[in-house]
Amino acid sequence: MRQVCGGDIVRPRATRFATNYIALDSLLKKRVDLKKIFISNEWASHKLSRTEVGHEVERLMFDHVYWEKVEKLVSIYEALYAVLRIVDSEVVPTMPFVYELIRLMKTNLDQLKAKEWVKHIKHPLHAAHTI
């Protein structure tokens, strides 16, 4: 797989919040190469190609609905990931800066029609110190 895809799908590194996003994004970027694996002669002769799990993974690789859902998840996580990376950086951002990032993230999520995410971040963050 490393030869066909040009590397691993999951790159091991220390992350606290982005492991799922990184794995899904990598999977999405390598989907064309992953599909090549399942149409190769090596896959046809491999023992996993004859198992139930192998058939299920092969079916997923060619399922357009599955890839559309992965694309939507990656686009939603991307907005969240950008904010989390900045907040988790060595340079501590000011509260107005964080508030502006979250406002932009909410706008991006609205554009992506991710209403289930937006309803969880509807309270003004700058007023948190008053509670």
- Average pLDDT of 95-123? 70
pLDDT above 60: residue 121 = no
Encode pLDDT of 6-43 as tens digits: 666 666 565 666 788 888 888 899 899 889 989 999 99
What's the token pair of residue 104?
């932009």
Per-residue pLDDT, 47: 93
SS3 content of the chain, % helix, strand, coil (to 5): 75, 0, 25
Task: Look at the chain and count its residues.
Answer: 131
Global pTM?
0.66
